[in-house]
Chains A and B, each alone.
Chain A
């Protein structure tokens, strides 16, 4: 219980410090356990994982060793799709506020359709449909390399997640841009700046601060949803866990460890997100 009470102490202490304290969170510009008590949760989860591995190497150490490449795949899929989906979301969000009816129509259709289909269904769909499309394209263009195309699970998974999350991101970007008062754009335009310049220098920087928290949430959600890629033959953490369980018949220990490994990744991500948020808040004033 020592750890638990320390955590509580820190939370209480932090609350007692009052609003004046918040600014000093970031002055040093480095991640510091003393300044953000929730880092103790990260320490606690890491300690539990460590204890389990040391005290019961069989099966916990075996699970970690077996699934470590799965962790890497999960991280790779998450970061790659996050990066791409932010780009898609930026374009989609700009499309959703476009005055050009064609661009607005296309991006709205994309958002509405993709948001209405479960990610799992999209993943399976792309996995089976995309090779057929590419092979047909190969036949049509008479390109042998395309005809022999077989689905690459990881790339398919990244593309599917990017398309799905890009739709949600589009709406986040759209709402962020629309939260910036109209007068900001008008003032920039009245000074002779082009629409693009006004967007880039005036509207988007302000929208970015608004969308930072939901963007952070998207990262944590994406990390968790990346477990769905295990159904399309990507050897991520979840799939490696299933393989280990099938070989050793110990579902309770396996899924406990898999859950802890996901948890440590998500809470670290959440801490980093909150750190960035606090930093950007500070810069505002």
Chain B
């Protein structure tokens, strides 16, 4: 495909009086892993949610896989190409893990039950919990729930995966199992945009790290440059706070 798979141009978004995004532009290439970091309230989650239009923006344009996000395009078609993983998992509470993976395949992709279940079982195996197919979300640990949520998004065969602080709601001992799944996904060449505070993941898996503050992109660089030689004063201040230097 020619050009970046995600093109964000000068996007602005306000919540009442607060300007969450103050003109953000960003291109993401196919197969690239981009990690967005920044203090809370910097607009990074809002930016992520704009990419599949869970949040509407007032100005600017976003083009995903050649389709412009506006009212002329079918938003459901775009969303089915863009997987989203939430901080609070948001598994369907009334369905088993397997049914969580099957539902959208059946209703959106119109796959047969057999095919959808086959895909679902393969993905549950891939995220390491094939034995939990019949468990309800309430019976799973946070780490297991988040892995099911990742598998649920992957079941749609998305071209892009968005992660919104996927490990922030997890107990420390469960963070690794989720990051491992994400790392292997990155290695397979999935296009990923990840909002996260996991600097270890950013260092290991990211192609590019983006630092946002107060609704603007302050700096972007390769992980090595970003962590070892940040150019901006605000980036240095942020890193010094979270890396406990």
Contact = CB atoms under 8 A, between A and B. Distances in A.
A250 B3 CA distance: 92
A202 B152 CA distance: 14
Interface in A181-198: 181, 183-184, 186-194, 197
B88 A202 contact: no
B92 A184 contact: yes
B98 to A, nearest CB: 15
Q: Lowest 4 CB-CB distances: which A-B pairs, in order?
A: A192-B80, A187-B90, A191-B104, A183-B90
B54 interface: yes
A193 B110 CA distance: 11
A102 interface: no
A131 B79 CA distance: 53
A201 interface: yes
Given A187-B86, A191-B156, A285-B138, A202 B92 contact: yes
Contacts of A193: 76, 103-104, 107-108
A285 B139 CA distance: 8
Nearest to B93: A206
A275 B90 CA distance: 30
Interface string A151-189: 000000000000000000000000000000101101111
Nearest to B139: A285
A190 B86 CA distance: 10
B242 interface: no
B90 A285 contact: no
A201 B82 CA distance: 20
- Tell me the dominant secondary structure on chain A's binding face: helix
A21 interface: no
Interface residues of A, number: 20
Contacts of A192: 76-77, 79-81, 104, 108, 156
A205 interface: yes
Given A285-B136, A285-B139, A190 B84 contact: yes
A136 interface: no
A209 B156 contact: no
A148 B81 CA distance: 62
Interface string B47-73: 000001010000000000000000000
Query: A181, A184, A190, A194: which has the most chain B beta carbons within 10 Å?
Result: A190
Contacts of A285: 136, 138-139
Contact of A184 (B52, B93, B138): B93
7 contacts: A187-B86, A189-B79, A191-B152, A191-B153, A197-B108, A205-B94, A285-B136
Interface in B140-160: 149, 152-153, 156
